[in-house]
Structure 1
């Protein structure tokens, strides 16, 4: 399996190349979870349920997203719980992460967790980049715009996974790509 630093990394998938790795990007939030499907489309899940029932509603949307493009995804890349979380969000977001991770473990789907600062540094070169900088970096690299910052982060998470496994959709400076070494990636993703 190709990784970020292989010397013979294939370019982005072409008609003659291997099919792109099917990666789902998740920016988990109890109020508005960003999802980037395996084909690059993005959406935001805003639960209608109240209290802990939101956990099941979000899990259900993520479960449906795993097969939304026709074939199941092979890897999920999600943003980690911010270390600065406090108050009610500091309690609920870890519960959401536990719910989603347990589901992925139950179905045998590997996942990678990327720290928020690592994702920002990968996308923009700065670990403290704000939401606007993330969106501008996506527009600069792929001329894409999003409905909200949750979708933007989910899209960058999918892009990071594709890049790590040798299928980048665009070029980034090597220093930014090297930020991905901070995550723990599965040695191989089975197809």
Structure 2
């Protein structure tokens, strides 16, 4: 199995202490899964990291390598990660992916925030149980975006995670009803990055 874009850990300088110019926030959205991880890059492009079940835990290496390459290339100020699912078995499998990806974020000095699925769906589609079709329709209405090869909705969710990061840090990508924006108030955004993104220098 090819592991794309491997870069030595520890080679990226921390980003958390940088002041973000207005309009210059770079956010990466990550919908993590052992079988199909959705990624939305800071430029808005999305892709999936697909793995094969027969590769077992070595799938973690492919996911780690792709995330490491994305962080090195796009240098995000913030990663927004969909939180773990509630189902015990799914949570256990997804937790493996969270572990390796969080190591990459920490090593690259990229602050991160978790958004639970119900909050993301409420923000995007004004409904905590919105299905993938409704989430995709909301993305099209908000920004005219369509997602190809996205049967599981992974790229769509990653796109909305990026949008949530911009909104939560005071640099929204598009207009939304305030009631939906308020759903993000429960997210624990990195405080220093919030001040920086809104033009206030950190102490």
Give the TM-score, by structure 1 length: 0.84
Tell whether 2:59 aligns with 1:58.
no
Is the contact between residue 37 and residue 68 of structure 1 (CA under 8 Å) also seen in structure 2?
Answer: no
Asked whether the 8 Å contact 2:22–2:171 carries over to 1, the reply is no
Q: Residue 112 of structure 2 corresponds to which residue in structure 1?
A: 111
> Given the alignment of the two structures, is residue 42 of structure 1 paired with residue 46 of structure 2, yes or no?
yes
Deviation for aligned residue 1:66: 1.3
Instruction: Provide, for residues 122-176 of structure 1, a one-character-per-residue CA deviation record: whole Å limited to 9, x for no partner.
Output: 0011111111000000000101001211100000000001111121111111111
Look up the SS of the partner of 1:95 in the other structure.
Answer: helix
Specify which of 70, 75, 79 is matched with residue 76 of structure 1.
79
**Superposed counterparts of 1:95-174, under 5 Å:** 95-147=96-148, 148=150, 149-174=153-178
Question: Which consecutive aligned stretches of 4+ in structure 1 deviate over 4 angstroms post-superposition?
Answer: none
1:18 aligns with 2:59: no
Instruction: Report the Cα offset of residue 19 of structure 1.
Output: 3.8
Tell me what 1:3 maps to.
none
Unpaired stretches in structure 1, ≥5 consecutive residues: 1-16
Matched residue, 2:185? 181
Greater share of residues in helix? 2
The alignment yields a C-alpha RMSD, in angstroms, of 1.7
3-state DSSP class of the match of 1:24?
strand
Superposed CA deviations along residues 54-106 of structure 1, whole A, max 9, x for unmatched, are: 1111011011111334xx111100100111x243x332101111111122122
* Aligned residue pair count: 171
Question: Matches of 2:104 and 2:22 in 1, distance apart?
Answer: 29
TM-score (norm 2): 0.79
Residues of 1 paired with 2:171 and 2:77: CA distance? 14
**8 A contact 2:114–2:188 mirrored in 1:** yes
CA contact (8 A) 1:77 1:113 kept: yes
State how far apart, in whole Å, the 2-side matches of 1:140 and 1:97 are.
31
Q: What is the CA–CA distance in structure 2 between the aligned matches of 1:115 and 1:105, rounded to whole Å? A: 20
